[in-house]
Structure 1
Amino acid sequence: MLARSPRRLSFGVLAAGAAISLPLALAAQDDGAPPPDADQQEAAPESGELAPEAKAALDRMSEVIAALDGDAQRTGNNWQFKVEERMIVVVTDTDADRMRIITPIAAASELPEGAMERLMQANFDTALDARYAIGQGLVWGAFVHPLDSLTTRDFASGILQTKSLADTFGTTFSSGVLNYGGGDSGAIIERQLNDLLEELDERQRRDAI
């Protein structure tokens, strides 16, 4: 039997992730790179020091991000960009062979009674590959994956799932791919993913000419 739709709770949501500032200096700490100066220009990754699998994964990630946001900021092997005005941060750790996609959602101190349990329930059945997490006083949407085995589809799907967790926070709490309900989120996310992958294929064909 399908579970009843959750009652909408009153959450303090950060509209499109724009209510806080998460500079790339923070993300840069995860891969051992020093925080950049405020006026430092975009830094290119030192790809010569990376394993071939990691470099290939970073190149794929860069292509996906460029397709989503032409104004994406990059510091080392970390990115900050927007998808439909929602701020997304991608952090990599090449030594640990891990990457993560995160987006800020709400102030943890403003969660109403019962909200923490609801987040854990969502992590069990509707969050899927992306998850809700709490850190630095905030609720986040987060997606974690090994770096060297990350495919273009994995990465694009991770971005869309993480964004969906933020967009549905307080209502369906869904990554949008699969759930036990009968809504439309899964089809919407799949369509967005296919559109993005088609755009990447078209870019690669144009570059090859």
Structure 2
Amino acid sequence: MPRILPALALMVLATFAVAQDTPNPEPTAEPSMTMLRLAQIIRAIDPEATPSGNMIELTIDDIPVIVVADPVADRMRAMVPIRSAQGLTTEELMRLMQANFDTALDARYAVARGRLWGVFIHPLGPLEKDQLISALIQTVNVARTYGQTYSGGATVFGGGDSNGIYQELFEELQERGEEI
């Protein structure tokens, strides 16, 4: 019996030594996002994308997208114009703020220069390629779903008001269906 403990201890030590000698493959980090890399990714998405200074204009599913980046401030912004801000009602503005909380995901509704925009804002340097692609998709989706589901994608964060609004719509449509 006494020989088992030393043998077990040797096995544990040997296992530990092997684990220490075996390097853990770390995922290779993407290079920092630069204006050049940003432009290359955008041109792969839309070969017709038009750069102009720190701005690149592209089109995704017939929706114009503007990407502006400032390497000095380490910021980037993807924007989609949605409509004039003139005439937005208090109820519409409230709905936009509710969507910013739970359905717009990382994109947001914003008002600037007299327009309603779908926007995504992120530090430029740590932005990864897939995050950029997701940002573009979400920004296009908030524009596309404006006035309907106000959604940046398929996910609802929850805890906000949108689920209740969707439930009310579901019940209303359910009631309409009962009449048929």
TM-score (norm 2): 0.67
**Distance in structure 2 (CA, Å) of the matches to 1:161 and 1:128:** 7
> Which of 45, 49, 53 lines up with 1:76 in the alignment?
53
**Distance in structure 1 (CA, Å) of the matches to 2:75 and 2:90:** 34
2:148 aligned with 1:161:
no
- How large is the Cα RMSD of the aligned pairs? 1.8
Offset at 1:58?
Answer: 2.6
**Distance in structure 1 (CA, Å) of the matches to 2:101 and 2:127:** 23
> Which of 146, 153, 159 lines up with 1:176 in the alignment?
153
> Which of 50, 64, 73 lines up with 1:96 in the alignment?
73
> Which residue of the partner structure matches residue 111 of structure 2?
134
**Distance in structure 2 (CA, Å) of the matches to 1:168 and 1:60:** 29
SS in 2 for 1:163: helix
Deviations 1:122-173 (A, max 9, x none): 0000012110000011100000011110100111110000000000000000
**Which residue identity does 2:54 align to in structure 1?**
N
In the alignment, structure 1 segments of 5+ residues that lack a partner are 1-52, 184-209
Offset at 1:76?
Answer: 2.4
SS in 2 for 1:110: coil
> Which of 106, 115, 118 lines up with 2:95 in the alignment?
118
2:36 aligned with 1:59:
yes
- Residue pair 1:57, 1:151 contacting (<8 A) in 2 also: no
Q: Calculate percent identity across the aligned residue pairs.
A: 40
* Structure with the greater alpha carbon radius of gyration: 2
TM-score (norm 1): 0.58
**Distance in structure 2 (CA, Å) of the matches to 1:117 and 1:134:** 13
> Which residue of the partner structure matches residue 3 of structure 2?
none
Deviations 1:33-84 (A, max 9, x none): xxxxxxxxxxxxxxxxxxxx66x43333222211221111101232011111
In the alignment, structure 2 segments of 5+ residues that lack a partner are 1-30, 167-180
**Distance in structure 1 (CA, Å) of the matches to 2:78 and 2:154:** 17
Q: Which has the higher contact order (CA 8 A, sep 6+)?
A: 1
**Distance in structure 2 (CA, Å) of the matches to 1:174 and 1:67:** 25
**Which residue identity does 2:114 align to in structure 1?**
G
Q: Which moved more, 1:114-123 or 1:68-77?
A: 68-77
